[in-house]
């Protein structure tokens, strides 16, 4: 469920920064993402996002490549 303020990370265009709100991706993945710095309130800078294929996101000082399916499960504002 996404209200007006929360939208999936996959829709954020390259060059903009957003705040992570919540992740709904199952326990295992959430833990992995959390270890990499994807925690609520973290600033995510989207470096690359074309309409398909993975995204490149900067979080806590490092660049990560993120599958599109995963980016859909991350709500940001």
Partner 1 sequence: MKKPLIVALAGNPNSGKTTLFNQLTGARQHVGNYPGVTVEKKEGTCLRGNAEFHVVDLPGTYSLTAYSQEERVARNFIIEEKPDVVVDVIDASNLERNLYLAVQLMELGVPVVLAFNMSDVAKARGFQFDLAEMSRLIGAPIVETVGSRGTGLDELVAAAAAAARRPAPPPPAIRYGADLEQAIERLQAKLEGQLPRADARERRWTALKLLENDAEVAGRVASGDVHRLVRAEQERLSALLGDSPEMLIADARYGFISGLCQETVRSTVETRHTASDRIDEIVIHRVWGLPIFLGLMYVVFWLTFTVGTPPMDWIDAAFGWLGVTVSGFWPEGSESLLQSLLVDGVIAGVGGVLIFLPNILLLFLAIAILEDSGYLARAAFIMDRLMHKIGLHGKSFIPMLTGFGCSIPAIMATRTLESRRDRLTTMLVVPLVSCGARLPIYALIIPAFFPEAWRAPMLWIIYVFGIALAILCAKLLRATLFKGESVPFVMELPPYRLPTLKGIWIHMWDRGGAYLKKAGTVILAISVVLWALTSFPKLGSVDESLPAEEQQAAELAHTVAGRIGHALEPLIRPLGFDWRIGTAMIGAFAAKEVFVAQLGIVYSVGEADEESEPLREKLRQNYSPLVGLCIMLFMLISAPCMATIAVTKRESNSWGWALFQLAGLTVLAWLVTFAVYQLGTWLGIGV
Region 25-64 residues binding partner 1, contact defined as CB under 8 A: 25, 27-37, 39-42, 47-48, 50, 52-54, 56, 59-64
Shortest Å distance, C-beta 55 to partner 1: 10
Going through the chain in order, the beta strands assigned E by DSSP cover 7-8, 17-23, 43-48, 55-59, 62-66, 74-76
Shortest Å distance, C-beta 56 to partner 1: 6
Shortest Å distance, C-beta 52 to partner 1: 6
Residue-wise burial string across 6-44, b where 16 or more C-beta atoms lie within 10 A, e elsewhere: ebebbebeeeeebebbebebeeeebeebeeebbeeebeb
Choice between 4 and 27, CB closer to partner 1: 27
Which residues of this protein are in contact with partner 1, per CB under 8 A? 22-23, 25, 27-37, 39-42, 47-48, 50, 52-54, 56, 59-67, 69-70
């Amino acid at each position: 469920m996404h209200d007006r303020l929360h939208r999936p990370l996959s829709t954020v265009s390259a060059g903009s920064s957003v705040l992570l709100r919540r992740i709904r991706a199952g326990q295992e993945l959430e833990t992995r993402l959390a270890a990499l710095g994807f925690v609520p309130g973290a600033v995510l800078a989207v470096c690359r996002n074309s309409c398909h294929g993975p995204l490149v996101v900067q979080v806590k000082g490092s660049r990560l490549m993120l599958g599109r399916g995963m980016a859909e499960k991350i709500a940001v504002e």
